[in-house]
Amino acid sequence: MSATNEMSGEVYYPSAEIIANAHIPDYDAVHQAATDDLAGFWDKIARENFEWAEPWHTTLDESDPPFYKWFVGAKTNIVHNALDRHVKTATRNKAALIFEGEPGDSKVYTYQQLNYEVCKFASVLRAQGVRKGDRVTIYMGRIPELMIAMLACAKVGAMHSVVYGGFSTEALLGRIEDSASKVLITCDGAWLRGKVIELKEIANAAVERSETIQSVICVKRIGHDVEMVPDRDYWYHDLMALPIADPNAPTEVMDAEDPLFILYTSGTTGRPKAILHTHGGYMVGTATTLKWVFDIKPEDIWWCAADPGWITGHSYIVYSPLVLGATSFMYEGAPTHPYPDRWWSLIAKYGITILYTAPTAIRGLMRFGETWPQRHDLSSLRLLGSVGEPINPEAWKWYHRVIGNESCPIMDTWWQTETGNFMITPLPSVPLKPGSATRGFPGVQVDVVDEEGNPVGVNEEGFLVIKRPWPAMLRTLFGDPERYVAQYWSRYAEQGWYLPGDSAKKDEDGYIWVIGRIDDVIKVSGYRLGTAEIESALVSHPAVAEAAVIGVPDELRGNVIKAYCILRDGFEPSEQLERELRDHVGVEMGPIAKPSAVAIVDSLPKTRSGKIMRRVLRAQTLGQDVGDLSTLAD
Ligand code: WT7
């Protein structure tokens, strides 16, 4: 790769070798073709790369916007394409999953072995009464059984709802109840930095208060004593040893539009939203984007270092690599345990060829200096990736130079839980500008517009919009279709555009530069947190009458949370209380939601209708101009 200033700003051009080997050497031609005939483009891809029990009669049904449907009438199951079809070919002996535990244990599952486990666990779930359309909550660490559990749910046609293992009781309970899950799959703990996160304890506290959970299945990861409730809790290994655990369990045949999973994510206001994805479109979209953006070849070892508990892990650790018959690598623990070179040692040990991670992780590892990565042979790497928040050019350049040896293009992928797959992203053949996710994936029409929907000028800030539907798009919010319409499709209802909730700029080359959220979502270390959930955790403390939280820029984590609290009568401000409130959020929501600072105040800026004006709080905190205060109450 070489850097020049031919276009404005710094541009990195891919080498001739990278272009020659890329699945898509000519972005412009493919993007143009996809734009001219969007349905035809996806129709061809879907026919040629996946197995369907029955074909579709309509590729894209736009008769009831924004409830778009893809591959209507088709029948399949993503698990049929991820496992069943591969065990009938030589792929069955290929590594599907290579796992390394934090303590250093390691395990490889071939496609044959993974399918064996998934079949058995699918029949265990069936024996627990799990049927097509049911919801199952999964709350586990980053271990192979998490992948097995997800695939087993999909195989029987049940929707999984994975709750990230970094969340605590309140967050877990809320998601269990909202989804009305009848089974919870968890584990006896998870390793993190040599310590145990007591997931079963947290799960017990949530299930005690749940009205819907009938049984709990617990994987033994740590091996220490945990409380198991008789007639409710079962050990995974006990159930898997029963004769009902059938290694030839059939895969439920699903409609392409049947739900595959729900995944909760933070939204503008109120409780988290259950994003719903489907078997057909999600399969086609995730597999195609992974193949083209990360140029997956049969010999690759692909490492998406996210957590399966987030969409990144769903789409790019679990589903799309398996659908492609690729090898996915998973590491359980912290990047810096026991030393800051753990990740680099894993790349050398397993010969990882593609690493996909978040800017916050790169910044975190950058702090330890170049000596740690330099101690390891990273020459197996040929592509790098970034996701979760805008990547600052310094981190981009460090990643490119120190990890990628100046020869690995960096795919900065912009997307969301809602979009299911990469949306704004380069392909390996596309010239890169550090900090820009470049342009839309073929067929994705992105633009930056003003309030009325007019395109803004070059390098002017505006709202990001997506103008055409795509196969892996969310179909609705589970149980709340009105909110789906209001949240994403109401601002530009007339034009029929999707509103992601980000602000952005477009430069003279049409490259998109995402700036950040325009709503009350805060990105902390790439994790998406809603102000409303953190505020309700604070208010659940007896000392707090009212609370408001804002995001404050932070060099390492992108943003950190600052909380403002008004105390109830009878409570006095103190440092001790501030600490207690921070810890309280940690216990209720999870450590990632812990405010880095709590300020106790007498009042909060509000509109006359009583809505907290976080914009004003934020401006005051950062010493910026507070802007238009005409709606402020006093
Ligand atoms: C929000 C979605 C999709 C995987 C992880 C996040 C921000 C995501 C980028 C990027 C700038 C990015 C946006 C988006 N975001 N990727 N490459 N550059 N911003 O999924 O938790 O649903 O968050 O993450 O603000 O709206 P998510």
Q: Whose CA is nearest to atom 18 of ligand 1?
A: 390
Cβ-contact 293, 22 below 8 angstroms: no
In the predicted structure, residue 7 carries a pLDDT above the cut 60: no
CA angle (200 as vertex; 137, 584 as ends), nearest 5: 95
> Is 61 near ligand 1, meaning CB less than 6 Å away?
no
Distance from the alpha carbon of residue 392 to the mean position of ligand 1, in angstroms: 14
According to DSSP, residue 464 is labeled: E
Q: Whose CA is nearest to atom 1 of ligand 1?
A: 416
**Sheet-wide strand order for 383-386:** 106-110, 95-100, 327-331, 301-304, 354-357, 383-386, 410-412
Amino acid at 67: F
Q: What is the pLDDT of residues 47-96, one digit of tens each?
A: 999 999 999 999 999 999 999 999 999 999 999 999 999 999 999 999 99
The reported pLDDT for the residue numbered 533 is 87
The reported pLDDT for the residue numbered 355 is 98
Distance from the alpha carbon of residue 389 to the mean position of ligand 1, in angstroms: 5
Q: Whose CA is nearest to atom 21 of ligand 1?
A: 528
- Taking the CA atoms of 357, 359, 362 and 368 in sequence, report the sign of the dihedral they define: negative
The reported pLDDT for the residue numbered 5 is 42
Tokens of 151: 């695939």
In the predicted structure, residue 209 carries a pLDDT above the cut 80: yes
| CA contacts within 13 A on the Cβ side of 60 | 18
Residue of 514, 517, 529, 559 best suited for mutating to test ligand 1, as the one with most atoms within 8 Å of CB? 514
Atom of ligand 1 nearest to the CA of 501: 26
Strand pairing category for 215-219 and 183-187: parallel
Query: What is the spatial distance between Cα 561 and Cα 525, in angstroms, rounded to a whole number?
Result: 11
Distance from the alpha carbon of residue 390 to the mean position of ligand 1, in angstroms: 8
| Percent of the chain whose pLDDT exceeds 90 | 89
Please give the C-alpha separations between residue 410 and each of 102, 200, 343, 349, 391, in angstroms, as whole numbers.
27, 38, 17, 22, 11
Distance from the alpha carbon of residue 498 to the mean position of ligand 1, in angstroms: 15
In the predicted structure, residue 333 carries a pLDDT above the cut 80: yes
The reported pLDDT for the residue numbered 269 is 63
> Is 411 near ligand 1, meaning CB less than 6 Å away?
no
In the predicted structure, residue 6 carries a pLDDT above the cut 70: no
Question: In whole numbers, what is the pLDDT of the chain averaged over residues?
Answer: 95
Q: What is the pLDDT of residues 581-621, one digit of tens each?
A: 999 999 999 999 999 999 999 999 988 777 888 888 988 88
Q: Whose CA is nearest to atom 20 of ligand 1?
A: 416
Q: What is the pLDDT of residues 117-158, one digit of tens each?
A: 999 999 999 999 999 999 999 999 999 999 999 999 999 999
Model confidence at 624, pLDDT cuts 50, 70, 90, reads confident
Distance from the alpha carbon of residue 422 to the mean position of ligand 1, in angstroms: 10
Helix, strand, coil proportions of the chain in percent (round to 5)?
30, 25, 45
Tokens of 220: 């033994």
- Taking the CA atoms of 342, 348, 349 and 350 in sequence, report the sign of the dihedral they define: positive
Query: What is the spatial distance between Cα 362 and Cα 399, in angstroms, rounded to a whole number?
Result: 7
In the predicted structure, residue 113 carries a pLDDT above the cut 90: yes
In the predicted structure, residue 270 carries a pLDDT above the cut 80: no
Beta bridge partners of 565: 547, 600
Distance from the alpha carbon of residue 415 to the mean position of ligand 1, in angstroms: 5
Residue of 310, 411, 416, 477 best suited for mutating to test ligand 1, as the one with most atoms within 8 Å of CB? 416
Residue of 167, 356, 389 best suited for mutating to test ligand 1, as the one with most atoms within 8 Å of CB? 389
Distance from the alpha carbon of residue 388 to the mean position of ligand 1, in angstroms: 4
Cβ-contact 471, 281 below 8 angstroms: yes
Distance from the alpha carbon of residue 85 to the mean position of ligand 1, in angstroms: 32
Distance from the alpha carbon of residue 527 to the mean position of ligand 1, in angstroms: 9
> Is 312 near ligand 1, meaning CB less than 6 Å away?
yes
The reported pLDDT for the residue numbered 292 is 98
Among 191, 170, 162, residue whose Cα is nearest residue 317: 162
Q: What is the CA radius of gyration of the chain?
A: 24
Give the least confident one: 109-118, 215-224, 527-536: 527-536
Among 459, 443, 455, residue whose Cα is nearest residue 492: 455
Residue of 266, 441, 463, 528 best suited for mutating to test ligand 1, as the one with most atoms within 8 Å of CB? 528
> Is 265 near ligand 1, meaning CB less than 6 Å away?
yes
Distance from the alpha carbon of residue 146 to the mean position of ligand 1, in angstroms: 23
The reported pLDDT for the residue numbered 4 is 47
| CA contacts within 13 A on the Cβ side of 456 | 19
Q: Whose CA is nearest to atom 8 of ligand 1?
A: 388
The reported pLDDT for the residue numbered 228 is 98
Q: What is the pLDDT of residues 490-548, one digit of tens each?
A: 999 999 999 999 999 999 999 999 998 888 889 999 898 989 889 989 999 999 999 99
> Is 525 near ligand 1, meaning CB less than 6 Å away?
no
CA 153 to chain centre: 19
Atom of ligand 1 nearest to the CA of 312: 4
The reported pLDDT for the residue numbered 610 is 76
**Measured distance between the N- and C-terminal CA atoms of the chain, rounded to whole angstroms:** 57
Atom of ligand 1 nearest to the CA of 415: 3
CA 32 to chain centre: 29
Tokens of 495: 């034009």
E strand residue ranges, 166-235: 183-187, 190-192, 195-197, 215-219, 233-235
